Amino acid sequence: MSGWPKLKAHLKSDGVLSNNILLGLDFDGTLAPITAHPDHAAMPADTMKILSSLARRRKIRIAIVSGRSAKDIKARIGVPGVFYCGNHGLEIDGPGIRWTHAALRRSRAKLAALGCALREDLKGGAGEFLVEDKGGSLSVHYRGVSPILVPLAHKIVLKNYRRLRGDFRLMPGKKVWEIVPRLVWSKGDALLRIGRLTGCEKLIFVGDDRTDEEGFRTLRGRALTVRVARNGPSYAKFFLKDYRQVRAFLELLALRP
């Protein structure tokens, strides 16, 4: 991966800035700093300002692609004209589209039962496990939990997850285990779908977590991909160090005529 100076040079040289762009952005760790409790995550005011200004541009469309539910992410950002894409790409709510993957509807009851079982099994831990049922996927957050408790909790999650008999898969993220329907479908597929709908010529996807790697892989050779992380193995072509560099990247896009 190449860092911010090379990404900046690439944007200027490739003519990217003159195309109609679909800009796909993850939320936690990409636009907003990661917080101890997922409910507390918020975009800094200046990032919100740039995002709102970009959303009003004629030649750019914005999609927020998150592991959160579309409803949650829409309430958290609330900028009009933006596509809110939740549950790792399984639902899209935006201008001219309100779509839910069939697997998400099929999975709801099983995930709700799994959520109840996990809350019960994990409640003996002295830590602050948070089991979040997002309607189409389930998160077990362990940020703030004593590291001593994590291996046992992982075993408990695995045991319950295995009872789902292959209909789901377990994705480790940043201090979170995500359980999602087993499908060949990623945030990248959701972005391609929005790209077709909007007729955008250039697709950009920025994400920070291991859970975004499938999206980067889907989009290989079809989009400009950026991982928010220190340089390391990734399917993304470029990297940005943190959400502050993401803001600088958005500022550059906002400078377009």
**What is the binding site for Mg ion (CB under 5 A)?**
26, 28-29, 208-209
User: What's 241's DSSP letter?
Assistant: S
Nearer to Mg ion, 34 or 117 (CB): 34
Nearest residue to 120 (alpha-carbon basis) of 90, 156, 86: 156
- Cα separation, 67 vs 138, in Å, equals 9
Task: Write down the least CB distance from residue 241 to Mg ion, Å.
Answer: 15
Q: Would you call 31 helix, strand, or coil by DSSP?
A: coil
User: What's 61's DSSP letter?
Assistant: E
Nearer to Mg ion, 161 or 243 (CB): 243
Structure tokens at 137: 């996927």
Nearer to Mg ion, 26 or 213 (CB): 26
Nearer to Mg ion, 93 or 208 (CB): 208
- Cα separation, 171 vs 199, in Å, equals 31
Nearer to Mg ion, 28 or 214 (CB): 28
The residue of the chain with the least Cβ separation from Mg ion equals 29
Task: Write down the least CB distance from residue 152 to Mg ion, Å.
Answer: 26
User: What's 185's DSSP letter?
Assistant: -
Structure tokens at 213: 């790697």
Work out the number of other CB atoms within 10 angstroms of the CB of residue 92.
23
Task: Write down the least CB distance from residue 86 to Mg ion, Å.
Answer: 13
Task: Write down the least CB distance from residue 28 to Mg ion, Å.
Answer: 4
CA atoms lying within 13 Å on the CB side of residue 236: 27
Task: Write down the least CB distance from residue 208 to Mg ion, Å.
Answer: 4
